[in-house]
Amino acid sequence: LFAKPWDFRTSVTDMANLPDIGGIEIAFAGRSNVGKSSLINALTGRNGLARTSRTPGRTQMLNFFSADDAPLAIVDMPGYGYAQAPKDLVDAWTKLVFSYLRGRPTLRRVFLLIDSRHGIKPIDTQAMGLLDKAAVTYQVVLTKSDKIKPPQLERLMEETLVALAKRPAAFPEIVATSSEKGKGLAELRAEILQLVLN
């Protein structure tokens, strides 16, 4: 699945233009600068596939990636929280995102990226609120795990699991990754493969 040549498919700014895909879809979400582009690039083995969330014009779009014949599309959701207060999230993260979460039957899971150095911030909690409301299963992926020491990571994982236990749509397992060191990528790919096979 991930050995295939992944490519950019389309950018979407309204629900009417969502592409027809022949399989399931997963989406990646998180604060700007969380390491979302790096993770998508590392997973697909294609540097430059996903661009940083500050690339002009691509920030408020849903970006679709696919590979020939793969029964999976990857969706890069707009990064949130860049110079925005949590209360503005719904506006800033756009109505499109919520419509998409509510109205996309092929969407199987959202991977919600959290920076290992920062943990869950208030704006992430806001995002989780939207995901819970949309009733889309989301799984937390810790990014940049190479930036903190193993005992700190261990504690962060425990704290994160406790926070997630209270959330109705949260998946009860998390994955710690480092795009830089290639850590956790096999685990995340296996998780995604399970979704495709089920």
Contact residues for ligand GDP, defined by CB under 6 A: 30, 32-38, 52-53, 79, 143-144, 146-147, 178-180
Q: Is 180 exposed, middle or buried (0-12, 13-18, 19+ CB in 10 A)?
A: middle
Residue 95, Cβ neighbours under 10 Å: how many? 11
Q: 15 or 122, CB closer to ligand GDP?
A: 122
Tokens of 44: 């697909």
Q: 152 or 194, CB closer to ligand GDP?
A: 152
CB of 71 to ligand GDP, least distance (A): 25
The contacts of residue 120 (CB under 8 Å, 6+ apart) are 114, 128, 160, 163
What does the chain come to in residues?
198
d(CA 27, CA 60): 14
Q: 53 or 94, CB closer to ligand GDP?
A: 53
CB of 38 to ligand GDP, least distance (A): 3
CB of 117 to ligand GDP, least distance (A): 9
Q: How many helices (H) and strands (E) does the chain have?
A: 6, 7
SS3 111: strand
CB of 79 to ligand GDP, least distance (A): 5
